[in-house]
Amino acid sequence: MLLKLRVASETELCRKEVSVMTTDFTAVTDEAIQIRHYLHQHPEVSDQEVATSAYLRDRLRTLGYRIITPAKLKTGVVAELGHGHPVVALRSDIDALPIHEATGLAYASVNPGVMHACGHDFHMASLLGAAQALKDADFAGTIRLIFQPAEETHVGAQEVMESGGAEGIDAIIGFHNKPDLAAGEVGILEGGLMAAVDQFKVILHGKGTHAAKPELGRDPIVALTSLVNSLQTIVSRNVDPQAVVVLSVTHISGGNTWNVIPETASFEGTVRSFSTAGRKLAKQRFMEVVKAGAATFDVTPEIEWIKGPDVVNNDDQLTPLVAETTAKFARVVRPVPSTTGEDFAYFSQRIPSVFAFVGSHGTSDWHHPDLKLDDQALTTGIKFFYYNALNLLAKLR
């Protein structure tokens, strides 16, 4: 996608330097830490972020933002500051996970079985911190804040787009905290940063019988075990060794006792990929292997293929701009693309965008019940949104 870019004049650059000097990020960070602790304590799962949305709305109203959340969007908040084009959107996700927290933190979740174990509280606090700093900034154009629901279920970005919440945006940026990066580090990469996600579910229909009389049935268990092994050859034997594709079978089920061969057995799992060709090949071979394997064992496969988000693809023109700006307040590193997925991809497929990894110096990885993040890392998250918003508004004018 072609973007109209303009080189900032020296005067503008000078003004930005002044802005760098006068914005008190220590005070903003201190407040963002309190906000994160509150949000961490009150997590809500995907598409049920009612109290979280109310909290964000109140805070943004107090800061002087216009709340423009489309009526169709049940949870999440869209807000704006400024007028006219360009419109630069800043995105944070807001949902938590159905995980029982085991951090022992003073501000641990008070909602049993629900935890901000992916650090979306870190994203919200960063964006609210940036919102606070931006309300006093000097800029032309519009800053739109998108607090998106349901990232974990990969439907929230689509909900925002279908509701009209992403109309008229010239550029959008976002980030995910990265526990294995240090506080003050930001990972930025042109092109594919996070993988395309597909999900599969297969039920093998056979014929149940007495365990001692297998010749009278059609055993789905033997078929399933063979298929799970055969599917591993797609990545090892079919996919280009230079390409990255992952295929994992993560759940198998069949039978309920020792002396009965069941009627059915099932399995499910996921495919991750970074190219259209790799994604297409993996799906095609999956179908062939399952159908042929099932035929070999005389069982009938019922296959469900659920297409998830595409690759999170960083725009060629915007990414160097974001990297240059970010290098002024953080250590920019080149991250290894992640085989995890992100529904920010739905934005990045339609709108010029940059998605980054902001170091959060965590104690474990995403989705772990013991994940603790470094509060001091919030400063970098706040600055990432603040400086890149202002710089992109100046450049896209």
- Closest distance of CB 150 from Zn ion, Å: 11
Amino acid making up residue 345:
A
CB nearer Zn ion, residue 118 or residue 290: 118
Strands 171-178, 87-93: pairing is parallel
Nearer to Zn ion, 145 or 203 (CB): 145
Helical H segments across the chain, by residue range = 10-22, 25-41, 50-63, 120-134, 156-163, 220-233, 276-296, 318-326, 345-348, 378-395
Half-sphere exposure of 241 (CA within 13 A, CB side): 2
Task: Tell me the closest approach of the beta carbon of residue 151 to Zn ion, in angstroms.
Answer: 6
Q: Name beta bridge partners: 148.
A: 93
Complex with Zn ion: residue 174 or 206, whichever CB lies closer: 174
Contact in structure between 19 and 390 (CB atoms under 8 Å) = yes
- Taking CB atoms, the residue at the shortest distance from Zn ion is 118
Q: Are 304 and 200 in contact (CB under 8 A)?
A: yes
User: Cis link prior to 86 (omega < 30° from 0)?
Assistant: yes
In terms of CB distance, is 341 or 352 closer to Zn ion?
Answer: 341
Q: Is 278 left (phi over 0), alpha (psi -120 to 50) or beta?
A: alpha
Residue 235 CB, nearest distance to Zn ion (Å)? 23
Q: Which is nearer to Zn ion, 115 or 118 (CB)?
A: 118
Residue with tokens 């949902």: 95
* Cα distance between residue 30 and residue 24, in whole Å: 10
- Return the number of the residue (166 or 194) whose C-beta is nearest Zn ion: 194
Q: Output 118 or 193, the one with its CB closest to Zn ion.
A: 118
What does the block give as tokens for 260? 């009965």
Q: How far is the CB of 366 from Zn ion (least distance, A)?
A: 5
Shortest approach of Zn ion to residue 147 CB, angstroms?
A: 14
- Cα separation, 312 vs 335, in Å, equals 14
**Cβ 362 to Zn ion, closest distance in Å?**
12
Supply the minimum distance, in Å, between the C-beta of residue 381 and Zn ion: 13
Nearer to Zn ion among residue 312 and residue 394 (C-beta):
312
- Rounded to a whole number of angstroms, the minimum distance from the CB of residue 52 to Zn ion is 14
Applying CB under 5 A, the residues found at the interface with Zn ion are 118
The answer to whether 155 touches 89, Cβ cutoff 8 Å, is no
Nearer to Zn ion (CB atom), residue 75 or residue 325: 75
CB 108 within 8 A of CB 101: yes
* Helix, strand, coil share of the chain (percent; to 5): 35, 25, 40
**R_g over Cα of the chain:** 24
CA–CA separation, 303 and 285 (whole Å): 13
Q: Choose among 137, 139, 138, 157: nearest CA to 148.
A: 157
Strand partners, 145: 79, 90
Three-class DSSP category at 192: strand
Kindly state the smallest distance separating residue 43's Cβ from Zn ion, in Å: 12
Q: Considering only CA atoms, which of 47, 268, 319, 43 is closest in space to residue 158?
A: 47
Which is closer to Zn ion, CB of 118 or CB of 294? 118
- Least Å from the CB of residue 368 to Zn ion: 11
